[in-house]
């Protein structure tokens, strides 16, 4: 018995006939002129998402590679009420 079967029960196996039917439905819903524009905007969205993801990933990597600065011990001088770095 395949353990992963229940998870993929909602996602049927798509063959060429199913894909063609889905494309025909898209053409009927959006029109042939609108489909390239939709695909272009979808591609730009994916590109922007990947760019943002890689930027965040790079920030995390650089933060992990940097050594933390040593913390300075601070004391309060009672006479002058100022913070003195030791």
d(CA 23, CA 11): 18
Which ranges in 5-74 belong to alpha helices (H)? 16-30, 34-65
pLDDT digits (tens, 9 = 90+) for 31-71: 888 888 988 999 999 999 999 999 999 999 988 887 767 66
- CATH number for the domain whose boundaries are 13-65: 1.20.5
Answer for the pair 38, 46: CB distance below 8 angstroms, yes or no: no
pLDDT digits (tens, 9 = 90+) for 63-85: 888 776 766 666 665 565 555 55
pTM for this model (two decimals): 0.47
65 alpha carbon, distance to own chain's centre: 22
- What are the extents of the domains in the chain? 13-65
């Amino acid at each position: 018995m395949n353990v992963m079967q229940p998870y993929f029960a909602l996602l049927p196996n798509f063959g060429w006939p199913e894909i063609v039917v889905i494309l025909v439905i898209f053409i009927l819903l959006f029109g042939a002129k609108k489909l390239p524009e939709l695909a272009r905007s979808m591609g730009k969205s994916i590109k922007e998402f990947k760019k943002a993801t890689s930027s965040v990933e790079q920030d995390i990597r650089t933060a992990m590679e940097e050594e933390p600065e040593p913390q300075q011990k601070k004391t309060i001088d009672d006479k002058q009420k100022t913070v003195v770095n030791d």
